[in-house]
Amino acid sequence: MAQNAYEYSSAAAQQAPLTQPRYRQRKAIKYKAAVWTKKERGLVIFVAAVVLSLMVGAVFTSMQITKATNSTTAIETKISNTKQNNDDLQTKIQDVTSKSNLDKVAKKYGMTLSDDSVRNINQ
């Protein structure tokens, strides 16, 4: 038995070890950063300036739209209030110039209506 164990261990030693990698490990290639030319730097600065100006323009436009909307709302409120006041005044004028109110005021101040001095101009 010892002889079999010896032969087994020598046969295992002749075989390739299982932990050895099959492929060679590749070395990581380090690349150097590319050097930017003056034109590339200028182009990047130009594009950055354009993008920045577009962002500022978008914010400015948004603020102007908000301002215009607020002023429009304020003017619409004033118009609504003015229309309501006009309606109230029209109602008051109709009440004051009604036939019954004119008769009441005439009676209060002692005035009389004579049919001879009345002319109908609507017909």
pTM over 0.75, yes/no: no
Provide CB contacts within 8 A for 112, sequence distance 6+: 106
Tokens of 7: 């032969």
pLDDT tens digit string along 6-55?
565 555 555 555 565 566 777 888 888 889 999 999 999 999 999 999 99
Distances (CA, A) of 88 to 31, 74, 93, 96: 84, 21, 9, 12
pLDDT tens digit string along 58-76?
999 999 999 999 999 999 9
- Residue 114 · residue 120 · CB < 8 Å: no
